[in-house]
Amino acid sequence: MALDDGFLQDMAQQLCEVSGVVGVVLGGSRARGVHTPESDYDIGIYYRRPLDISALGDVARTLAGPRAAVTDIGVWGPWVDGGAWLTIADNAVDWLYRDLDRVQRIWTGVQEGAYGFPAQVGHPFGFADFAYVGELALSIVLDDPTGELTALRAAAQEYPTALSENLVRRLWESSFDVYIARKAVGRGDATFVAGCLFRAIEVCAHALHARAGRWLINEKGAVAAAGRLSIAPENFTYRAQSIIGTLGTTPAELVRALDAADELVRDTVLACDIRPSAVVVTEPAPAGPEPEAASRTTPAAPKMVLWEQHCCLPLQENADVTELARYPAGSFLSVNIGYSPQSKAQASALGHAFRRNALWDGRFRPVQVLDDLTAAAEDGMIALAFDLEDSGPLEGEVDNVRHFYDLGVRTMLPTYNYANAAGCGCLDAEDTGLSAYGRDLVREMNAVGMTVDGSHCSIRTGLELAEASERPMIYSHANFKSLWSHPRNITDDQARACAATGGVIGINGVGIFLGVNGPEQHRDRVRAIADHIAYGVDLVGVAHIGVGSDYSFDSADFNLELATNPQAFSEAYTAWGPLQWVPPEDLLTVPAELMRRGFDDASIAAIFGGNFARVAAQVWS
């Protein structure tokens, strides 16, 4: 026979007569109305020390018989810190101690975004400390002589915004858990993989609840509860349970599970990070792309402090991503993760490592969807995406475009300096243009939402990229051959063709492409960037010029690469001595130089952010 409300309230009143007991609530599934006839009765006993354990035992024996017993505080662990397991009229009744002062401290902390998952027996993911608040918010107050529980319960009905944001940000751990689990596949270590996958899925469940503003208080039922949320990815519960339930033990089985987990994490990130669009940029409208492309519904372009369309870390998994913080908060950075020498596996490993290290740092927001740019700007973070400077890492498979897009690559060059399966490079003696495979590649990039980039390509390949692409194409880091005749610079015809797609030419700061490569010519390089910007604006209009400095944080490594991998370069690179670049600090002085030349604020904003942001809005959508 179920325990009626009258019995529960009478029990609560008896408990509140015990010295130290402040109030009593009914919690768990019975408080939430999702119980079955067999469900336990979870009774929360909120106390302040000293708590009269002996008197509690007397109440327990009165209600449950002479063999009933209660624990001292702390016997069950630091967070589920004691109580009793009773049987009353054939019903399981669990008394759970809760230190009210500790609950109130947790409430103060979660309003500022603080949380933890400390170790606790019976909680394999760790005990969610904010569950103290959540379980009270979801409870039914049975007796509360002082009114403290009622007041705190009422306050906790509104889920704290700061806690929500921080639990959603923790999604980086899900990606890392899946990444680190892959290192155990070769050893067939299914136990380690299972543990990582459990953590990844639990983080996703907490993030979904946090974004929905719903308290999640236990691992038990967390996945099913997350799947019932309106924002949950499609079939979240089934997919999550299947990943664990069909894990297997062979490397092939483990890889399948990890691939499925990667997709689930990605979909959770998309579900959690939907935010309102940012302000529309105010620069002039571009020359129109093809009518089909122009007719698409395009989201508003986000407004960034700076849009750096191409820069380079050392192509090593331990590269120091903190160097990227030399760009200002609110910037967007596209960081290279590979070119012709890298395989799919190597470029992928670099992307995973850069993303993981950026998340650990805390100042960067990896880009998955367009709204991440807005969120990064609003939060004072640096938005981070990746690019490939050659299609070689695709290993001849256009389907791998989707693989790298999911990894965060938003821009790719078909060729790097020399011909490959996609087309010709800017250093080739014979220019046969874009290949059939290259055209297939462009179609796939258009379909997936990855920007086509003609930098490092031959003249004919660049022109044919503009013809083949149905979405705006770009030159992420290319200067004008008319100002400095270098094979890496582009012709006026290439620039016009790019602009006709609605695209943008990003001016770079590499000394040999500017014609100013002296080690001490820092200011001259800044002025040379301004020269190329001004020339481009006159040629194709302010809406089609941007910045892609090509700054190499691995400058020493790159100059060594020139010496050790000469087949990727030519005398056009090596004849000038060690290469010089315009660093982020000097790049930020270019707007002042443009102002001295008569550029207004709106034009500078378009060149340093708005134009490339517009392309992203048109291509990524």
Task: For residue range 366-381, list pLDDT tens digits in order.
Answer: 998 888 898 888 888 9
Whole-number pLDDT of residue 391: 97
412 vs 292, 409, 474, CA distance in Å? 23, 8, 10
Please give the model's pTM, rounded to 2 decimal places: 0.56
Quick one: how far is CA 358 from the chain centroid?
Answer: 10
Q: Are residues 315 and 195 in the same domain?
A: no
Integer-rounded Cα Rg, in Å, for the chain is 30
Could you say which DSSP state residue 296 is in? Answer: S
Show the domain range for 67.
5-158
Q: Are residues 407 and 553 in the same domain?
A: yes
Q: Are residues 136 and 173 in the same domain?
A: no
Mean pLDDT of 177-193: 90
- Provide the domain count of the chain: 3
Backbone angles phi, psi at 213, to 5 degrees: 70, 35
Name the pLDDT band for 302 (thresholds 50, 70, 90).
Answer: low
CATH of the domain at 135: 3.30.460.10
Residue that is last in its domain, among 158, 184, 208: 158
Q: Are residues 31 and 128 in the same domain?
A: yes
Task: Indicate whether 294 belongs to any domain.
Answer: no
Question: What type of residue sits at position 367?
Answer: V
Whole-number pLDDT of residue 555: 81
Whole-number pLDDT of residue 568: 65
Mean pLDDT of 334-352: 95
Task: Indicate whether 268 belongs to any domain.
Answer: yes
Q: Are residues 93 and 230 in the same domain?
A: no
Task: Indicate whether 258 belongs to any domain.
Answer: yes
Q: Which residue from 388, 385, 381, 407 is spatially nearest to 325, judged by alpha carbons?
A: 381
Q: Are residues 63 and 147 in the same domain?
A: yes
Backbone angles phi, psi at 262, to 5 degrees: -55, -45
pLDDT in tens, 323-334: 999 998 889 999
Whole-number pLDDT of residue 577: 81
Q: Are residues 130 and 30 in the same domain?
A: yes
pLDDT in tens, 258-274: 999 989 998 998 898 63
Q: Is 342 helix (H, G, I), strand (E, B) or coil?
A: coil
pLDDT in tens, 588-605: 889 989 988 999 888 999
Q: Are residues 320 and 382 in the same domain?
A: yes
Q: Are residues 262 and 326 in the same domain?
A: no
Q: Are residues 118 and 35 in the same domain?
A: yes
Residue that is last in its domain, among 116, 141, 158: 158
Residue that is last in its domain, among 158, 183, 204: 158
Cα–Cα distance, 347 to 434 (Å, whole number): 23
pLDDT in tens, 422-481: 999 999 999 999 999 999 999 999 999 999 999 999 999 999 999 999 999 999 999 999
Task: Indicate whether 133 belongs to any domain.
Answer: yes
pLDDT in tens, 397-421: 999 999 999 999 999 999 999 999 9
Q: Are 418 and 568 in contact (CB under 8 A)?
A: yes
Q: Which residue from 311, 5, 128, 552 is spatially nearest to 562, judged by alpha carbons?
A: 552
Average pLDDT, the chain: 90
Could you say which DSSP state residue 333 is in? Answer: E
Mean pLDDT of 146-164: 95
- Cβ-based burial of 251 (10 A; exposed 0-12, middle 13-18, buried ≥19): middle
Could you say which DSSP state residue 285 is in? Answer: P
Q: Are residues 143 and 192 in the same domain?
A: no
Task: Indicate whether 440 belongs to any domain.
Answer: no
Whole-number pLDDT of residue 560: 82
